Chains A and B, each alone.
Chain A
Amino acid sequence: MEYARMKFYCDEARCIECDGCSIACAEAHELPVGISRRKVVTINEGIPGKEFSTSIACMHCTDAPCEQVCPVDCFYIREDGIVLHDKDKCIGCGYCLYACPFGAPQFPRDGAFGAKGAMDKCTMCAGGPLETNSKEERHLYGQNRIAEGKVPVCAAMCATKALLVGDAESISNIYRARVSARGKGANSPYGWDRAYTK
């Protein structure tokens, strides 16, 4: 059976820069101070007609570059396209961050001498490799809402429904309907191949 590929999409025409998604994420996963898996950014600030806001996190790229460069091979891509990693394997080298065009991987300073700890990033609320919904999984990776059949918390909380999540086809159908209704398309890149304009 062919699985759908899970994707995020933030509709720039609807995003009002309320930061609700990143706060919902930090609260739901009880993230340490200094880590924000999701961030709202405003591009072309102050330039009339060009300014827009969007919410960025891990884009769960097809052929994710982080997975390609990891020296300890701690990444794995689920059949539904969600890109996850094993924090017990991760050595905190930072290579995934250099490969990522979105700045998604983050490193808490938890070791002695300010050594980088294991990488942390958006899991699309799908937890990690540990036993689903176990205490350990929750502690290391946060909630596993996907396993419970729930929508990732950022998209669920989005007041204007700018942030969409789901299988790529449904997302593009919704977005296409919105664009045809307002007759104006997107500005920002989705997926690393477009971000690097290959």
Chain B
Amino acid sequence: MRKFFYFFVATACLASVAFAADSQIWGEMRIPNILSYGQEQSLKLGALFTMLQNHYFGKIFLAILVLVPLVFFVHYKVIGPKVFSHEGKKVYAFDMFNRVVHQIAAISFIVIVPTGFVIVFGDFFGGGTFVRLCKNLHGIFTIPFAIVVIPMFVMWVKDMFLHWDDIKWLMIVGGYLSKVKNPVPAGKFNAGQKTWYWLATLGGVLMIVTGAMMYFLDFKIEMLNNITGLSQIDLLRVSAILHNVVGFAVVALFFVHIYMSIFAIKGAIHSILTGYKEEEEVKILHSSWYRKLKEQGKV
């Protein structure tokens, strides 16, 4: 028994030595990673990352956290929510598969976004166990999102391409600046939903990839170094910068998505829980889709 234990310990030690010798950061790669040791042509990403993280990232996240909800608060008070009858007929919009995929992504985002803010404002929370826990949750809840992001992309992609309606929708900001219930030009998804879709899927994949690179840190994918022409440490710096910058957009539109589904359109969240949208809501907010459904005799 003891023999096996020693064997296990020796193997573990050797494995970690091999790991250290293979390191892309602290082993042989340490020289090419150091700028002034023959890397004069480098992009100087270390200095850029230091400047951005020190002066801008935190402030921009704080601005998003305060200003986006503030704009919505004013919108809610001044223009108010759109209220549609929940007594009338309903339109079946999302099947079971759509709903499950969306729910898994939703739960992931509900954990990932706030824990991300805790990491960004880690000094406010004093670091330590709580922030470390949030950092780990931030990573763990990426797994369910990573599983559903491709099905989500595929199941909705045919409805998400640019359409003339989207231009018209953008010109009137989706009708959200007026209290009148005029039909708004939009198919099954309006221009706002389309923007969020592309950001959440393509941007989401980018967030997963950059986040995973920072999580695993010391990995070796030579192809990645060859294609980008970056050393390992510069790849990590690019990841950190992209993760923050794409994060601004994801977080801002995530807030928009929540405001729309819960506050701005009363009861809109039920459509992704039950699959049914109110007929009046579809008639006004997705008028082109409604017309199409009518031609097909589905409403």
Contact = CB atoms under 8 A, between A and B. Distances in A.
Interface of A: 33-36, 39, 41-44, 56, 65, 68-74, 86, 88-95, 97-103, 106-107, 111, 113-116, 188-189, 194-198
22 contacts: A33-B16, A34-B17, A39-B26, A42-B31, A68-B53, A71-B119, A71-B120, A71-B121, A74-B127, A86-B127, A91-B132, A94-B236, A97-B236, A98-B233, A98-B236, A98-B237, A111-B136, A116-B217, A188-B37, A194-B36, A195-B36, A197-B36
A7 to B, nearest CB: 17
Contacts of A72: 122-123, 125-128, 131
Nearest to B49: A98
A70 B122 CA distance: 9
B173 interface: no
A77 to B, nearest CB: 15
Contacts of B120: 71
Interface residues of B, number: 47
A186 to B, nearest CB: 11
Nearest to A89: B127
Interface string B3-38: 000000000010011011000011000110111111
B50 A99 contact: yes
Interface string B43-85: 0101101100110001000000000000000000000000000
Closest 4 CB pairs of A and B: A72-B127, A89-B127, A72-B122, A73-B123
Nearest to B240: A98
Contact of A196 (B44, B128, B139): B44
B46 A95 contact: no
B216 interface: yes
